Amino acid sequence: MSLKLIREAAQFFVNHAVSKRIKPNISIILEFSPEIMRYNALIEKFEKYTGECEPVYNNGLRPREFIIRVDSSQSVRYILQTIAHEVVHVGQYSSGRLKDYVRTKTNKIKWDDWVYDFGEHDDCDSDLDYYMSPWEIEAYGMQVGLCKLYIKYRKS
């Protein structure tokens, strides 16, 4: 898949998953690597991820800059789904709906007006919490729809 197409797909996902008002002020750096490792503070281990979205917080304001890292060893289909998934998180962070404190090692995530305190967990619980969290349910749900929309747009 060409870089031009990846750029176009990412822009398409931003158009559909980030608020119209915020969109013009957003910048995203896309990074590709065959192995995305991230420290999981919940289980105190490094884990392999297919993608991640890192908001850059400036003075505690709502983030406008993001680094999206994508596992480049995936097939084109899954690379697109990963980008779509992470762009949904860009929409969530940039609107202020989602705020994570995981990087500050407090293991707390704020969603709307709720603070989810993940505290201490073993592997099993942290996986369950991950897939059941409202921001992941939204991102997993939308990644498929966004890709279908994009493919439809490419064919038209």
Query: Distance between CA atoms of 100 and 133, rounded to whole angstroms?
Result: 13
Residue 133: CB minimum distance to Zn ion, A: 9
Residue 53: CB minimum distance to Zn ion, A: 7
Residue 135: CB minimum distance to Zn ion, A: 7
Query: Distance between CA atoms of 45 and 37, rounded to whole angstroms?
Result: 10
Nearer to Zn ion by Cβ, of 84 and 139: the residue is 139
Binding mask 103-142 for Zn ion (x = CB under 5 A): ---------------------------------x--x---
Nearer to Zn ion by Cβ, of 42 and 139: the residue is 139
∠ CA 119-121-123 to the nearest 5 degrees? Answer: 145
Query: Distance between CA atoms of 113 and 10, rounded to whole angstroms?
Result: 29
For the chain, count helices (H), then strands (E): 4, 8
What is the binding site for Zn ion (CB under 5 A)? Answer: 136, 139
